[in-house]
Structure 1
Amino acid sequence: MRKIIITAAITGGAHTPSMSPHLPVTPQEIGDQAIEAVKAGAAIVHLHARNPEDGRPTGDPEIFRQFVSRIKAETDAIVNISTGGGGPGMAIGERAAAGVALQPEMCSLNMGSINLNLSEMASKDREWRYSWEVEHLNATKDLVFRNTFSDIEWILRTIGDTGTRFEFECYDVSHLYTLKYFLDKGLVKPPLFIQTVFGLRGAMGAHIEDVMHQKRTADRLFGDQYHWSVLGAGKDQMSLATLAAIMGGNVRVGLEDSLYIGRGELAVSNAAQVRKIRSIVEQLGFEIATPQEAREMLALKGKANTNF
């Protein structure tokens, strides 16, 4: 029977600390929530870091090291370090510094530039804990999240040459064609792990036809050379994950992508979201992949071959 990989995206760089008391900020909190998510059924933990003093996104490898070493020691999880790391306004070398230094089994890799607008979240009526939060969100109204062909190639050569493989994040149809370009150039090799992203302002919508179009395009471009996963942002998280499972895909949940577990109800942890999607997947008659099964499906180098 087909096994479904659950990825848990633990904290991200889009949401800010004032939006939820459950969003992990410190290395201790990020490590705790990642380990709990793995115990709940996540095979992969997708990781960003934050400044422990004020929750601001950071790409500092030494902050990453504090929790990835613990996750490696206490679980068999696949550690996936974001190359969007410290936030979309940072230069590529700064964003990807943790992936370069730590050489994990996986890194995420955005396959194109987008106008990523998070400013609507700044208009919500809430008590802001830190002065940087509103400024950070409003600034995205004028932001191009840069991921040029040169940026992508630099990551593939610099990080990929260490044996690290990638979660290819595709926010639009054009990103699938960019991935096909790098596949044809021989800079990426199958099996590919393609994470199609839906529901962010400036990227693909979250309509079922958007999902189906991405899947049809990926099938045509990559055939049996890839594993497909779906990330639904915000309110679309669970519905699109369910759809993905039915359509033969893998799923991603986590507080990076949505702070909620249901309408108007904040998720108390990443593990709560993992438990919910695991229950849905199993009720549909599928089994979830263990970390080792996911490692074999994605042809990863093994956690012993990382630099942390």
Structure 2
Amino acid sequence: MGLTPNREVFITCAVTGAGDTTGRSDKVPVTPQQIAESSVAAARAGAAIAHIHVRDPDSGAPSRDPALYREVVERIRDSGVDMVLNLTAGMGGDLVLGSTEAPLPADPQGTDMIGATERLVHIAELRPEICTLDCGTMNFGEGDYVMTNTPAMLKAMARQIRDLGVRPEIEVFDTGHLLLAKWLKAQGVIDDPVMIQLCMGIPWGAPDDLGTFKAVVDNVPEDWTFSAFSIGRNQLPYAALAMLAGGNIRVGLEDNIWLDKGVLASNEDLVARAATAVQSLGGRLLSPAEVRQKLKLEKRW
């Protein structure tokens, strides 16, 4: 990883995620109105892309209800604030084993395993410019949860995403996931320009130390566009590191709820801090229109 900074940077704001963060911060948006308003505020602070999950408005639990996605998208579009929409397609690959002594049947409380087409229902209905494709299977956290994305499932999803005219953002959580992304490209189910997100520091994926980050970045093809982030306290340092490594930036409450020690962040706070880092390092923020041109995205609204 040579020091070849990216001077023209886009920021993605991961607005709410699916993690158990709502009980730890009242700034994490839950309802469609809150998610849309937080996305708009992030865009006004400098984010070109809003990465969106939805939650059950009553419980705050993660949801994949297409009606909730539709309400968020319509509220953002009605705001008149331009941003590139990136909807998650990661839901529906959740496997929670029964126990260490009786792994099967799976725990019905946490397991949510559905087919490729069903995982993309909201993408087919709303046609965002971008949707995510979690490129691999891995243990996730300390319990019996496995994020499950087999090569066959990913190939089927990638083909459907391509046919919908949506750009996949390939989520790379570990070094082998990058190899899987390259295989999908070689299979002809992902079109140029390829866009990937390096997701660092998530147990038990790639750690966010500099050596591992360098190893991953050094193996990203030169003609691919990448962003990178880390979770928790290293999210904001990674904003600068991603730019210096030649990439783009992701921040947001999906990955980190803190602005400073003991100070809870809003999405716009995190975006503003990342924007300041870009400008302090001699970079320029790309607008949504410039991101569409760079990634050959079709504006839907």
Structure 1 and Structure 2 fold alike (TM over 0.5): yes
Asked if structure 2 preserves the Cα contact closer than 8 Å seen for 1:72 and 1:303, the reply is: no
Aligned residue type for 1:71: I
Secondary structure of residue in 1 paired with 2:112 = coil
1:114 to 138, 144, 157: 138
TM-score by length of 1: 0.86
How many angstroms does 1:156 deviate by? 1.3
Q: Quote the Cα distance in structure 1 between the aligned partners of 2:92 and 2:55.
A: 8
Distance 2:93 2:254 in 1: 12
Contact preservation (8 Å) 2:229, 2:242 = no
Could you tell me which residue of structure 2 aligns to residue 4 of structure 1? 9
The Cα of 1:161 is off from its aligned counterpart by 0.6
Residue-by-residue CA offset, 1:37-86 (whole Å, 9 max, x unaligned): 00111000000000001101000110111011121232211110001146
Q: Which has the higher helix share?
A: 1
Of residues 42, 66, 70, the one that matches 1:37 is 42
1:97 aligns with 2:121: yes
Q: Please, which of 256, 281, 303 is the counterpart of residue 300 of structure 2?
A: 303
**1: CA distance, partners of 2:207 / 2:89:** 23
Q: Is the 8 A contact 2:18 2:254 kept in 1?
A: yes
Q: Deviations over 1:243-266 (max 9, x none)?
A: 111121100000001011122321
RMSD (Å), alpha carbons:
1.5
What residue in structure 1 maps to residue 264 of structure 2? 266
What does residue 278 of structure 2 align with? Answer: 281
- Deviation at 1:160? 2.1
Conserved? CA contact 1:59–1:96, under 8 Å: no
Change in Cα spacing, 1:159 to 1:32, as seen in structure 2 (3 Å) is same
CA distance in 1, matches of 2:167, 2:277: 28
* Residue 41 of structure 2 corresponds to residue 17 of structure 1: no
Amino-acid identity (%): 35
- Residue 155 of structure 2 aligns with an amino acid whose one-letter code is E
Aligned length: 277
The answer to whether 1:82 aligns with 2:88 is yes
Structure 2: unaligned runs, 5 residues or longer = 1-5, 95-110
Look up the equivalent residue of 2:82 and give its one-letter code. D
1:28 paired residue among 30, 33, 36: 33
Structure-2 separation of matches of 1:53 and 1:154: 33
Partner deviation per Cα, 1:229-248 (whole Å, 9 max, x = no partner)? 00211111011121111121
Q: Distance in 2 between matches of 1:12 and 1:240?
A: 18
Q: Which of 183, 188, 193 matches 1:191?
A: 193
2:157 paired residue number: 155
User: Is there any run of 5+ residues in structure 1 with no aligned partner, and where?
Assistant: 120-140
Query: Distance in 1 between the 2:91 and 2:123 partners?
Result: 9
Matched, 1:229 2:251: no
TM-score w.r.t. the length of structure 2 is 0.88
Distance in 2, matches of 1:287 and 1:86, equals 37
Alignment partner, residue 143 of structure 1: 145
